[in-house]
Amino acid sequence: MPTTVISHQAEAPVKESHHALKVAGLLLISIGLLGILVASVGADYISPVLTGLGGTLVLTMGALLYIWQSRQYKSPAEQNQGMWQRQATSRGASAWVIGFVLTGFYVLLYWFPDTLQGLIQAMEPLSQWLRNRPSDQWFLYGTFYTLAVLVMGVYALLKYRTSRYHIIRTLSVMFFQLGFAFLLPGLLLLFNKPEYYFSYFWPLKYDYLFPGTVDYLIRDGAALGVFMVFWGAVFSFLATPVLTYFYGKRWYCSWVCGCGGLAETAGDPYRHLSDKSRKAWRWEVAIIYPILGFVILTTLFLWINSWSEGRLLGNLSGGFAQTYGFFIGAMFSGVIGVGFYPLMGNRVWCRFGCPMAAYLGLLQKYFSRFRITTNGGQCISCGNCSTYCEMGIDVRWYAQQGKPIIRASCVGCGICAHVCPRGVLKLENGPQENRYAGSPLIRRDDLRILS
Ligand code: SF4
Ligand code: SF4
C-alpha cells in the first residue's frame, strides 16, 4: 500500500508537466493561427512574411508539441478513446466550424485567389528558395497540404506506433508527399523544366494524358518531357494493373497517393464518420463508375478532336474537359473531398469521386491476389473493424461469417486489422485460386455435444 501511495505521488508532477506542455502547444497553435489571420487580412500594414510564414512555423511547432504530449502516453487501446464524445470528431459544433473553414479555403483558392494575396506573399521566400519564381496560390496550397501530411503524419506514427505496417505505410505517404509532390516539382521549375508530379497518374491527374499536356511536355520538356509522358502512360496502363494484381489497390491509395496521404494522416481522426449503410454503398457505385466513364470519354474525345484537327467534334471535347475540371477536378476533389472530412469522414473523395480509385477497385475485385482473410471463429462482434473502416465497409459482417473481404472500395489501410482485439483480420496477397473461400467456422449447432 505505501508503495502505491508513493508512486501516485510521483506521478502527479509528471502529469502536471504533460498538461503544461499540452497547454503550451495549444498556445503556440493559437499564436500561429493569429499570425496567419493577420497575414490574410493585414498584409498592407505588417509584413506578411513575418506574420504568415512565421505564424505557419509557430503553428507547426505548437501542433507537434501538442500531438506529442497527447499521444505518446496513451496505450494502443486508448488511442481512439472519446472519438464519439469530442465535438470536433463527432459532428459537433466545432466540426462544422472546421468543415466551414476548410470548404471556404478551397472556394477562395479555386475561384477567388486574390483574397489570399497576403498568404501567397507570405510564402514568397520559400517559393524563391525552392523554385526561383514568385509564389502563387498553388504553391501556398502545396505548402499547407504538405505540412498537414507531415504534422499529422507524426500524429499517425505515434497513434499506430505498435504496428510496423502502419509505421512504414505512414512514412511512405509522408515521403511521397514531401519528395514527389512538393520538392521535386519545385526543383523542376528551378531548373526551368515543366512542373510534373511523378506520383499522380491518369485518370486521377486527368490532364496528364490529354493531348494539350502531352504536346506541351514534349515541346517544352525535350527528352525529360518525353520521359514524363512515357512515365505517366506506363504507370496508368501497365504498372497500375501489375502492382494491383500483386498488392491490391493499397499500393497506391494507402502508400503513394497524395489524396490518400492526407486522408490517412490529417483525416485519421475522422475515419469513423464514414457511412456504413447499404444506401451509401449504392450511392458510391452510382457515382464513382460514371465519373470514371466521364474521364475516359473526355480523354477519347480530346484525342479524336486533336487527330481530326477539330473537324469531327468541334468544341464538344473542350466542353467535356472544362465540365470535368470544374465539377470533378475542383468542386468534388477539393471543396467536398477535403472540406467535408469532419462531417462525412476522410475518404469522401476516394470513396465517391476518384476515378483512379474506381479503376484500381475494378482491378482489385476481378484481377488481384489481395484479400482480407477473416478467422471468423474468433470474432466477438465488437464492431471495431466496421467503425474505423474509412471506406464504409461493414467488415464485421464478413468476419462473423468467416468470409474473405474482397471489395473494390477497400484501400488496404489495415486499420480494421489493427483495431480488432481478437486478431481476426489479416491483409494478404495470396494466390488467386480459392480467393473467395472462407475460413472453416465452428458454429454452436455444429458441435451437437449432447446428441
Ligand atoms: S476494410 Fe479494412 S483495410 Fe479495407 S478500407 Fe476498410 S479498414 Fe481499411
Ligand atoms: S474488430 Fe475483430 S472481433 Fe470485433 S467485430 Fe471486427 S473482426 Fe470481430
Nearest Cα residue to 148 out of 56, 238, 223? 56
C-alpha 330/C-alpha 153 separation (Å) is: 25
Distance from residue 386's CA to the centre of ligand 2 (Å): 8
Phi and psi, residue 256, nearest 5°:
-120, -45
CB atoms within 10 A of CB 335: 19
Question: Does the pLDDT of residue 408 top 80, yes or no?
Answer: yes
Residue with the smallest CA separation from ligand 1 atom 8 is: 413
Q: How far apart are CA 318 and CA 375, in angstroms?
A: 52
Q: What is the mean pLDDT of residues 408-420?
A: 97
CA of 75 to the centre of ligand 2 (A): 19
- Residues 426, 430, 431: CA angle, nearest 5 degrees: 155
Structure confidence at residue 2 (pLDDT)? 44
Nearest residue by C-alpha to atom 1 in ligand 2: 420
* CA 347 to ligand 1: nearest atom: 5
Which cell numbers in the block locate residue 201?
Answer: 497518374
- Residue 303: alpha-carbon gap to chain centroid: 31
Spatial separation of the C-alpha atoms in residues 102 and 90, rounded to whole Å: 17
- Mean pLDDT value across residues 60-66: 98
Q: Is the C-beta atom of 399 inside 6 A of ligand 1? A: no
Confidence of residue 309 (pLDDT cuts 50, 70, 90): confident
Q: 164 burial class (0-12, 13-18, 19+ CB within 10 angstroms)?
A: exposed
Cβ-based neighbours of 375, under 8 Å, separated by 6 or more? 402, 423, 424, 425, 426, 439
Q: Are 337 and 266 in contact (CB under 8 A)?
A: no
| DSSP 8-state assignment for residue 439 | P
Rounded Cα gap, residues 348 and 83, in angstroms: 19
Are 381 and 365 a contacting pair, CB within 8 Å? no
pLDDT at 299: 95
User: Residue 273 corresponds to which cell in the numbers above?
Assistant: 464518420
- Region 11-18: mean pLDDT is 70
Task: Read off the pLDDT band of 376 (50, 70, 90).
Answer: confident
264 and 413 Cβ atoms separated by less than 8 Å: yes
Range of weakest confidence among 59-63, 96-100, 123-127, 309-313: 309-313
- Mean pLDDT to the nearest integer, 404-425: 96
Residues 6+ apart with CB under 8 A from 320: 294, 297, 298, 301, 302
CA distance 275 to 168: 28
How many C-beta neighbours within 10 Å does residue 219 have? 10
Q: What is the DSSP letter of 384?
A: H
DSSP for 215-239 reads HHHHHHHHHHHHHHHHHHHHIIIII
Ligand 1 centre distance from Cα of residue 393 (Å): 7
Q: Give the pLDDT of residue 165.
A: 96
- Which pLDDT belongs to residue 1? 40
For residue 426 and ligand 2, the question of a CB distance below 6 A is answered with no
Grid cell listed for 144: 499547407
Cα(151) to ligand 1 centroid in Å equals 23
Residue 3 confidence (pLDDT) above 60:
no
Which residue has cell 483495431? 419
Ligand 2 centroid to 371 CA: how many Å?
Answer: 16
**pLDDT for the residue 356:** 97
The percentage of residues in the chain with a pLDDT greater than 90, rounded to a whole number, is 81
- The predicted model scores a pTM of 0.92
% pLDDT > 70, the chain: 94
Answer whether 424 contacts ligand 2 (Cβ < 6 A). yes
Among 73-87, 96-110, 432-446, name the most confident range: 96-110
Q: How confident is the model at residue 445 (pLDDT cuts 50, 70, 90)?
A: low
Mean pLDDT in residue range 398-413: 96
Of 76-85, 160-169, 245-254, the poorest mean pLDDT is in 76-85
Task: Indicate if the pLDDT at residue 269 is higher than 80.
Answer: yes
Higher pLDDT, 396 or 6: 396
The answer to whether 319 and 342 have CB atoms below 8 angstroms apart is no
Is pLDDT above 50 for 4?
no
The three-state secondary structure class of 451 is coil
Task: Enumerate the β-bridge partners of residue 429.
Answer: 370
pLDDT tops 70 at residue 446: no
pLDDT, position 433: 83
Question: Does ligand 2 have an atom closer than 6 angstroms to the CB of 389?
Answer: no
Cell 501497365 sits on residue: 238
Q: pLDDT class for 256, splitting at 50, 70, 90?
A: very high
pLDDT at res. 6: 46
How sure is the predictor about 330, in pLDDT bands with cuts at 50, 70 and 90?
confident
Structure confidence by residue, pLDDT tens digits, 278-297: 999 999 999 999 999 999 99
Residue from 170, 391, 409 to probe ligand 1 pocket by mutation (most atoms less than 8 Å from CB): 391
Helices (H), 160-210: 164-175, 184-190
CA distance 97 to 33: 15
Q: Is 382's C-beta closer than 6 angstroms to any atom of ligand 2?
A: yes
Q: Say how many C-beta atoms besides its own lie within 10 A of residue 272's C-beta.
A: 22
